């Protein structure tokens, strides 16, 4: 298999966001928030990957306190939890004060579990750090005072896009489409890691230890193992988040952007580095796969995002272009 970097092997820290996946995400029969996390824990063990940080927003615990068992299972199996706010609102939608209050609410809910991790990490929801330096500064000051360090994302693959089509294809028992979605998901993970690594080499002149994100979704339950195997065969060495966080690329702060982009993409925007992205037609094919009336992908994602915003009392906006 083609290696991720022509410069040799690359280090990568796996992180899992939203262990209790967002409210309004439909789960196919047979999948639960618990089954997804349990399966991911098993898969990580099969690949000898320990001490993975999960970033779980905590609002699902308000409606179903029993879901705490799932977070405890994650920690009991040797993984760690970080703070990812309570409502999962974007910093673009709410004031700095509202966002910091929401971080405190998450701390109230799972502070005892976060305490068990070697480091106190925070992750901005959607890795979006707001539309003004002043607002981000307000949050950064709050994090520092409360002993948190921002653990940003330097490789992701838009994995949430598969949620709705995978649900529709699975519920329709359309196995050909399920297979197409699984393969395109795996290929997207490889493509996007190469794309992020190529950009990092342009920006920093070297590969950095990448902080990679996957969400706890049904397709992740089925495909995390295949992705980890493909990464290994492509020269990836799995490392800890603590190790990756020592790199100045992760401690520095690229210029803010109101767009839905991650930390590395903000560096790329700042330095006008073009990043390769999958063809738009392919993304559209995935979003439109296995159609079911009333379950179209973008409107469904919009409902999920609005729910987070409304819970946080924010002013919703999203740029789908």
* Short-list 275, 174, 178, 172, CA closest to 221: 178
Nearer to Zn ion, 160 or 210 (CB): 160
Nearer to Zn ion, 18 or 138 (CB): 18
DSSP-assigned letters across all residues of 175-226: HHHHHHHHHHHHHHHHHHHHHHHHHHHHHHSS---EEEEEE--HHHHHHHHH
Nearer to Zn ion, 18 or 222 (CB): 18
Q: Give Cα separations from 216 to 16, 27, 54, 158 (angstroms).
A: 6, 11, 9, 13
Nearer to Zn ion, 87 or 289 (CB): 87
Positions in the binding site for Zn ion (CB under 5 A) = 17-18
Distance CA 311, CA 88 (A): 9
| Cβ-contact 243, 47 below 8 angstroms | no
Burial class (CB in 10 A: 0-12, 13-18, 19+), 173: exposed
Nearer to Zn ion, 148 or 207 (CB): 148
**Residue 82 Cβ, how far from Zn ion at the closest point, in Å?**
11
Nearer to Zn ion, 178 or 220 (CB): 220
**Residue 300 Cβ, how far from Zn ion at the closest point, in Å?**
17
**Residue 162 Cβ, how far from Zn ion at the closest point, in Å?**
16
Tell me how crowded residue 142 is: count the other CB atoms within 10 A of its CB: 18
**Residue 220 Cβ, how far from Zn ion at the closest point, in Å?**
13
Tell me how crowded residue 6 is: count the other CB atoms within 10 A of its CB: 11
Q: Write down the H helix ranges in 207-274.
A: 218-233, 241-244, 248-251, 263-270
Nearer to Zn ion, 17 or 102 (CB): 17
Distance CA 263, CA 123 (A): 11
**Residue 207 Cβ, how far from Zn ion at the closest point, in Å?**
25
**Residue 116 Cβ, how far from Zn ion at the closest point, in Å?**
21
Residue 111 phi/psi, 5° resolution? -55, -35
**Residue 213 Cβ, how far from Zn ion at the closest point, in Å?**
8
Distance CA 160, CA 262 (A): 14
Question: How many degrees, rounded to 5, is the angle at CA 109 between CA 32 and CA 161?
Answer: 40
- What does DSSP assign to residue 36? H
Nearest residue to Zn ion, using CB? Answer: 17
**Residue 215 Cβ, how far from Zn ion at the closest point, in Å?**
7
Nearer to Zn ion, 83 or 221 (CB): 83
């Amino acid at each position: 298999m083609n290696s991720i970097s022509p410069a040799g092997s690359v280090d990568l820290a796996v992180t899992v966001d939203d262990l209790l996946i967002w409210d309004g995400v439909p789960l196919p029969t047979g999948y639960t928030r618990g089954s997804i996390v349990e399966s991911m824990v098993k898969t990580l063990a099969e690949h000898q990957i320990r001490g993975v940080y999960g970033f779980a927003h905590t609002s699902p615990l308000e409606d179903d306190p029993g879901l705490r068992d799932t977070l405890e299972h994650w920690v009991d199996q040797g993984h760690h939890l970080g703070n990812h706010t309570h409502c999962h609102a974007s910093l673009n939608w709410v004031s700095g004060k509202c966002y910091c209050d929401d971080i405190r609410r998450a701390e109230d809910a799972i502070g005892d579990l976060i305490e068990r991790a070697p480091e106190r990490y925070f992750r901005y929801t959607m890795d979006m750090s707001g539309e003004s330096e002043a607002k981000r500064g307000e949050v950064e000051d709050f994090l520092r005072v409360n002993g948190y360090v921002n653990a940003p994302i330097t490789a992701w693959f838009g994995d949430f896009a598969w949620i709705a089509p995978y649900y529709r294809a699975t519920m329709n028992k359309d196995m050909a489409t399920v297979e197409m979605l699984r393969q395109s998901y795996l290929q997207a993970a490889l493509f996007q890691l190469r794309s992020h690594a190529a950009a990092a080499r342009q920006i920093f002149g070297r590969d950095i230890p990448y902080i990679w994100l996957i969400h706890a979704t049904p397709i992740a339950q089925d495909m995390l193992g295949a992705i980890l195997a493909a990464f290994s065969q492509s020269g990836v060495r799995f490392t800890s988040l603590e190790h990756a966080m020592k790199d100045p690329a992760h401690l520095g702060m690229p210029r803010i952007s109101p767009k839905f982009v991650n930390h590395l993409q903000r560096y790329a925007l700042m330095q006008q580095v073009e990043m390769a992205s999958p063809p738009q037609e392919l993304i559209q094919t995935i979003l439109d796969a296995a159609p079911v009336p009333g379950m179209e992908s973008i409107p469904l994602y919009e409902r999920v995002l609005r729910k987070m915003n409304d819970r946080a009392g924010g002013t919703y906006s999203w740029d789908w272009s």
